[in-house]
Structure 1
Amino acid sequence: MARLTIPEDFNSQVTLLNNIIAQNTALGTSSPLTAFLVQQNIVLTNDEAAATAAQTHDAARALLKKQSENYRQLRDNYFTAPWAHLTGSVQFLKTFYKGNTKELGNWGITITDSGKVNYPAAFTQRSAVFITFTAKHNSYPDNSSPLQPFLTLQNINLDADSALVEQATTNNTSFTATAQQSENETELRNQIWMPVLTHIKTIGNYLMKLFSNNQKALGNWGFVVDENTQKARLRTSKLKPGETSVYAGLIVGGSITNIGTVDIHLYKGETTTGTPSIIHVGEQFGLVKGYSTVTVVNPSTLIEAKFTALSAH
């Protein structure tokens, strides 16, 4: 059975609204929506104004999201070396305290009963571990810390690392703040947009009934009718660093959502010619006509990419 496909991403939904308005305006009083809109108390000019207001919040959301990702990357750049130095130092101390590795607990390091080091995953907890670890090292007078020979041999300066961790912490604070602000803008956008989206779906369902014998006519209004009898499913895909892959059978009207931690590049069809669409972390790309087959590239040489897409396969 054919079904009406409503785009998942905001920008494609706004485009659909604009198509509905354009077609309704072009048909004038002969539009099949004239009486229906009155009956349903839908005023397209009000929806158009709401779309403009929602787009303002969406633009702010996208900017804040990008800023938050920049802060996160700066945080990670500052923190990478100090954390690598810490983990190397811990391995040295495990040898130093062989037979009594629980002593590492005094350095802020969690050791399991089997003697395995258990590091926290989140930055805030890792930076706290680093601070405790450094404070323990500095508590030994006159370079008598058991860690000092390792630091000297490896040319590690914990004071310099501490300065980097402070920079990382500052950027983490900015990352957290801008990420929250981005979420706030998303909520404001959705509060304005959700009633309009309900109107779009109501209009689409009405036109589906009206054009039941010629559902392709819905294309004149910007709607996509999926005639695929297979049930679509949300497909999660991963790309190794630097990997390129072709994906076919994607649902037009659906979207690709970047759920990873690095940007991905998207090309129409099976080639990587031309300028790609860049899907930032946490963002969606609406799949319009011609994008049922795409080529996705992970430009990062270090981090795996991850995304979801609605697929007929």
Structure 2
Amino acid sequence: MKLHVGADIGGTKLAIRMTAPDGTVRVDTQVPSTDWEAAPVQEAARWLLSRIRPALPEGDEIAALGVGAQGCDTQEHCAHLTAALEALGVPATVVNDGSLLVPAAGLADGIGVIAGTGSIAVGATADGTVLFAGGWGWVLGDEGSAPAIVREATKAALTAYDERRPDDGLLAELLAHYCAADAPALARAVNDAPNPGTWGPAAPAVFRAATAGSASALTVVDDAATHLAALVGRLRARGAVGETVVAAGSVVLGQPLLANRLRARLGTNHPDLTLRLLDVPPVAGAVALARARHGAVTRA
């Protein structure tokens, strides 16, 4: 049987879904993506197929592949990776992983916002030109992502410590997460392993502090929501179309406080937009791309 295969490559995992022509899900699985690199595209294509092909049920084959890939941040890069996959015999469509959200929601247009391991907003103009905002990585930005929230919260807690202001609960939550005895130990803990795998998991501690009434933590969350809303504004200023912002990612979906703050910011700045939290896996959007690609091959 020829299957429509979707792949969603994020910062920590590769989600793979394979469906029969009638839409029946045949495979739904995840594997780590910690060694994923979007370039060089030839190596990226081989990396992806080496993880997809072992998951194919015996006797089945790939009719077409839809891919949402972290790190494919320009149309040119996506086109080059598409060509690399097709050179290996697989009809494919490749987009940035943020571009999966709108088709996954069953919409023809809109703006996708991811806030998870990283953050990015993706939209398109009326003529189909893909637009990106953010996604520069946790060192430079990615505001609203788990590592960036922890980065800003740690800075806020240590600034308050330097100024000898009483802890409002944020420092205590961070100390507990990192099993650190005091502020200097916290600084060592985050600096000794400065990577998303060390910083990101501490994000729930920031939200616990915010929920318990920490003004410092609430400011960090508010700032994150403001930055995510600003990404949407930048895309609209460049011509992005659609009436719906589709949000996904572990932070915005897992932390209602951030989602509510983002909804409020959008309501103030863009009252004509509706925020929709994606209630299906983004890989469903990749399957939709695969189905469309297979249809194009069949018609050709």
TM-score normalised to the size of structure 1? Answer: 0.24
Greater Rg over alpha carbons, structure: 1
Relative to its length, the structure with more helix (as a share) is 1
Q: TM-score, normalised by structure 2?
A: 0.25
Between structures 1 and 2, the one with greater strand share: 2
